[in-house]
Chain A
Amino acid sequence: MNEKHIHSDDLSAYADGEAIDSSYIEEHLAHCSSCREELNAVRFVQSTLHALPRPGHNANFTENVLAQLENNTSNNSNIIALSSKRNFRLISYVAAAAVVIVLAAAWVIRPELSIIPGIESTNDVFVAMIPDDTHNDYLMDTDVPFTFDVELLSELIDDEIPADNQDARMLFAMNFTGHEDIMVEFEHLSYDEVISAMAASIAPQLLESEMYLSHAEIWDNLMALDETSFEYVLYMLDDYLSQG
C-alpha cells in the first residue's frame, strides 16, 4: 500500500477535534501504526499540560487591581495632556511606531534627513531594523493610539522596493508591524496576502488604542515637529540601530 502518512499538522488538528476530514484520518489510523504513534505523542503532550495545576483564587488580587485603578485615575492628567496632536510625547510615541516607514518615505521626499550615521539608503534602514522590535513595544507599552493605512503602506512599498525583490518587501512588511514571525509564517504567501495578514496581526494592539491616526496624519505630525522633537525621533532611530 502506497498511501501517504497523515501530516503532523493534520494529526495535531485531529487530536483537537479540528480536522477537516476526520473519517479519512480514522481510516488511515486503523491500519497505520506509525501515525497512531504520532497521534499518541500529541495526546501525551496534551495530557502532560492538562495535568499542571492552576493557581488558586487570591483574595487580594482584585483589591490590588482596584487600588491600581484608583491610582491611575488620579494620574489621568497625563492622559489628557496626550490628546493634543502637537504634544511632544504623543508625536514621539507615534513616530517611534512609524519611524521606519516614515524615514523610508523621507528618503524620497526629504533627502536632507539622511544625517544619521551609517544610514545611506532605505535598504540600510530595513536591514538595521530586522532584529529589533522596539517600535512594537511602543505600540503596546503606551496608551498612545496607532493605526496604519494598508493602502498607503502598499503604495510605499511599491514605490520603494522592486516587485521582484520579495525578500525586501517581506522585511519591510515584517518590520512595520514588529512581528518577526510574519517572515516565518507567511513566507509562502503573496505580497498582498502578507499585507492582509499584517492588518490582522496588528488588530489586538489597535484594541488598546485610544485614538486613531491615519498614516497621512502621522506623516503630517512628523513634518510639523519642531527641531527638538524631531531630533528625539532621530535619537530613537539611532537607538534602534545601535541595538541592531
Chain B
Amino acid sequence: MTEIQDWDLVKRAQNGDMRAFTQLVDRYQSAVVHFCERMLGQSGPGEDLAQECFVRLYRHLHRLEPQARFTTVLFGIARNLTLNALRDAKRRGLHLSVPLDEAYTTHSSEPSPSSMAYSHELKHLILQALDRLRPEHKDILLLREFEGFDYEELAQILGCKKGTIKSRLARARECLRKELTAIGVVPHE
C-alpha cells in the first residue's frame, strides 16, 4: 500500500507539489541516512551524502515512471553516490579503518546478539566488522538486511542477474562472519 502512496507522491512532485516531495524525504530520510552512514563507515559524513541523494532524486523526478518499488530507485541513487564517495576517499587516502588490535575485544562466552540488549561496545564492533567489508559486499548486505529488498529487486538496484545476487550475498555473509569472528563476536552455542 505504501508503494502506491510513494508513486503517488512522486507523481504529485512531478507536477510541482513540493509538499509531496517533502513527504518522500521525510518518509525515507532515516533509511537513506542509515544506508549512507553504514556504507561510508569512517570514510565520510553519511548524512551529507543522503541529502545529496534526495537532491539527485528531485533533479531526475521527471524521468521516473512507476516501476517495482520506489525505493529501488532511491537506493540505486544512494548506492551510486556512496560508491563514488568511497572511491574518492580511497584515492585521497581518507579511509580510516581501525586495525584489529585497536578494536574492542569481547569473548565467545558472551550472550548472542539475538538474546542480549545491544551494548554500545558490541554495536561498535559490528560496525567495525561491517566497515572492513568490500563495498560490493557491504551494499548488498545493507540493502537485504535493513531495507528488505528481495533478490529480484537487488538485481535491479545492483545491475546484475539474480544468480549473481544469490552468490554475492552468500559470500558477503561469509566475509562478515569471518570479520565478526576475528574480533570475537561469535554466535552463542
Contacts and interface: CB of A to CB of B under 8 A. Distances in A.
Interface of A: 8-9, 11-13, 16, 18, 40-42, 44-58, 61-62, 64-66, 68-69, 72, 133, 137, 140-141, 143, 179, 181, 185, 197, 200-205, 207-208, 210
Contact of A9 (B26, B88, B144, B166): B166
17 contacts: A12-B173, A16-B150, A18-B151, A44-B113, A45-B177, A47-B112, A48-B113, A48-B176, A49-B146, A54-B31, A58-B33, A68-B52, A181-B136, A185-B164, A204-B157, A208-B60, A208-B80
Contacts, number: 151
Given A53-B118, A137-B87, A197-B160, A58 B29 contact: yes
Contacts of B114: 44, 47, 51
Nearest to B187: A44
A16 B169 contact: yes
Contact of A54 (B34, B51, B160): B34
B182 to A, nearest CB: 14
Nearest to B175: A45
B69 interface: no
B35 to A, nearest CB: 10
- Chain B facing A: main interface SS: helix
B39 interface: no
B59 interface: yes
A158 to B, nearest CB: 24
Nearest to B164: A185
A207 B30 CA distance: 23
B94 interface: no
A55 B185 CA distance: 23
Given A9-B167, A18-B151, A44-B187, A69 B113 contact: no
Contact of A41 (B113, B177, B185): B177
Interface residues of B, number: 66
A40 B50 CA distance: 34
Interface of B: 18, 22, 25-26, 29-31, 33-34, 37-38, 47, 50-52, 54-56, 58-60, 63, 73, 76-77, 79-81, 83-84, 87-88, 112-114, 118, 123, 126-127, 130, 136, 141-142, 144-146, 150-151, 157, 159-161, 164, 166-170, 173-174, 176-177, 180, 185-187
Contacts of B84: 137, 140-141
A47 B63 CA distance: 37
A117 to B, nearest CB: 22
A3 to B, nearest CB: 20
Contacts of A56: 30
Given A201-B159, A207-B60, A41 B187 contact: yes
Chain A CB within 10 Å, residue with most, of B130, B157, B166: B166
Contact of B79 (A18, A64, A204): A204
Contact of A133 (B87, B136, B167): B87
A140 B80 contact: yes
A18 B165 CA distance: 11
A74 to B, nearest CB: 13
A18 B166 contact: yes
B123 A200 contact: no
A200 B160 contact: yes
Contacts of A50: 145-146
A204 to B, nearest CB: 4
